[in-house]
Structure formats: structure tokens, C-alpha cells
Amino acid sequence: MNFRGNLRRLINEVGCDFVQQLPYPHVELFFWRPDDGTINFGDYLSLVVVEQQLRRSGYTLADEISRHVRMFAIGSVLHYARDGDVIWGSGINGRPGQNDLNRRVQTLDIRAVRGPRTQEILRRRGLSVPDVFGDPALLLPRLFPDRFQRRRVRDWIFVPNLHDLSMIDHESANVVSPLGSWNRRIEAILEADLVLASSLHGLIVAEAYGVPTRYVRLSDGEAEFKYRDYYEGTGRFDVEFASSLEEGREMGGAAPLSFNHQSLMDAFPIDLWRETR
């Protein structure tokens, strides 16, 4: 099978990762992962961020707790949610078939969501959703304060969404694949004066570190919903999208985000680990 065929299979097949399958009550962290064993760095950041947040309080995902819980953090994955799941920063995807919760879901323990569009859908389902917005990847500079530094050696880079990988020269020096280790993706993003991206987390990570960004919409592979949800959750309701890399470079960076990092950090469900028997 050629590259395009492999990519189509990778995108269309459901790949879900349940971290820490343990024989005692614990918090199961859910995030999406391609079935072929590769890593989409934006989704994998869910594990990175949650583990680091726990370390700050002396806990781990391997801890035995009073009851079994499933938790969602980073990702447009709420169509996978089940009754009783705990939500901290996840969002609705917006694609056909992924633009709402499973109809059987009646209760969720929601601490924060990615943005107001996700909040609106969940509230229409009768769920209680606080006014706490933001993708947890925005917390990376605070969780790893001395780990990554700006090293501006490239005028621009492009971080494609998986759907757009087959449309571009992915061997180009200006293209940073979303597939691979989280730390190398961040290092590459911090080398650029401008980050163009159709990868949502290419945008989010860059903005977390203050790098100017522009969303480039090369295809309809992803719904606009999740990008608007993120932008509106960070105080921006009129961000213009580029339709090509050339237009993105001409437009330059979008308005900087307006975001309350502390509210999202405070919403982390550390109480799950502190519950007594």
C-alpha cells in the first residue's frame, strides 16, 4: 500500500489508548492513538501533561485509589466518552459522526472543556459544564519551566494535520510532521519565527510559548469547529484562516491568546487521587 493509502487507513481506523491497565482501582487516562503504533504528538501530550501535573502533587497514574475512574484531558475525543467519565480540557471534534456525545451518555464529571462551543453542546445535553476553558497543552511552559527554550533559526515552519500529510512535501525542511516524539516537535516549533499549522496542537503548543501562529486550512479533513472552539476558549472570536502556506506567511500571526492558566490548573481533578476509602 502506498503512502496515501496507508495514511487513509491510519486516519479512518479507530485508535484509542487506555493508559495503565492495572488490576486495581486507578485513573485510566484515555487518549487517541493511530492503530499502526505511531504517535500523534498532540494526542500524546495528554499523557505528558497529566503525568507532570500529578508529579507536582506527589501522585502517579499507577496509584491505587478508592474507585476506578476514566479521565479525558487533551483531544477532540468526547464522542468516546461514557457515563461517569471525568473531563479536564477535552473538546468535541465537530466532524460528521463526532459532533456530539454518544446518545447513551447521561452523566459526566466535567471540570473544564476546550472552549465555549463544546460547552454549548454539552449543556444542550443537560450536563453541568463550568466556565473553565482551555486545552491543557497550554500549560506546558508552566509544567516544564526550564525544559524548552526559544532558538530562532527558521523564518517559518508548517505543522500539518494527519489529513494533510499526503498533500505536502513532508520531507521539506519547513515541514514538521505531527507524528513522533512530543519533545522534538516542541523543539522544532520553538525554532520558528512563525508557525503555520493545520495541526491544532501545532498551533496550541506554539501559542503556549508565545510563537506567532496562523491556522492554514488546506483541506476539509477536519471540521472548523475544533479550531473555533479553541480560539474562542482563548478569547478570540474573529481569527481569520489562511488557505495556503503562501497566504499564511503573508498574513502573519493571529492575535495573541487571552487565557487564565491558573483556572485550568486549579480545575485539575486531583481529588480523584485524594479520595479516601
Beta bridge partners of residue 169, listed in sequence order:
none
pLDDT (tens digit per residue) in 152-164: 999 999 999 998 9
Q: Which helix (H) or strand (E) holds 261?
A: helix 261-266
Confidence class for position 10, pLDDT limits 50, 70, 90 = very low
Quote the pLDDT of residue 11. 40
Strands 109-112 and 86-88: parallel
Cell 465555549 -> residue: 116
pLDDT (tens digit per residue) in 40-50: 999 999 999 99
DSSP 193-246: EEEEESSHHHHHHHHHTT--EEEB---SSS-HHHHHHHHHHTT-S-PPPBSSHH
Beta bridge partners of residue 158, listed in sequence order:
175, 196
Of the listed ranges 81-85, 108-112, 166-170, 173-177, the one predicted with least confidence: 166-170
Give ∠ CA 184-239-8 in degrees, rounded to 5: 50
pLDDT (tens digit per residue) in 59-68: 999 999 999 9
Grid coordinates representing 189? 516549533
Confidence class for position 172, pLDDT limits 50, 70, 90 = confident
Confidence class for position 14, pLDDT limits 50, 70, 90 = very low
Confidence class for position 21, pLDDT limits 50, 70, 90 = confident
Using CA atoms, how far apart are residues 52 and 167, in angstroms rounded to an integer?
35
For 81, 163, 221, the CA distances from 72, given in Å and listed in that order, are 8, 23, 23
17, pLDDT greater than 70: no
268, pLDDT greater than 60: yes
Quote the pLDDT of residue 221. 87
Burial of 169 (0-12, 13-18, 19+ CB in 10 A): exposed
3-class DSSP assignment, residue 16: strand
Grid coordinates representing 14? 479507530
Quote the pLDDT of residue 118. 98
pLDDT (tens digit per residue) in 114-154: 999 999 999 999 999 999 999 999 999 999 999 999 999 99
Using CA atoms, how far apart are residues 176 and 160, in angstroms rounded to an integer?
7
Count of all residues that appear for the chain in the document: 277
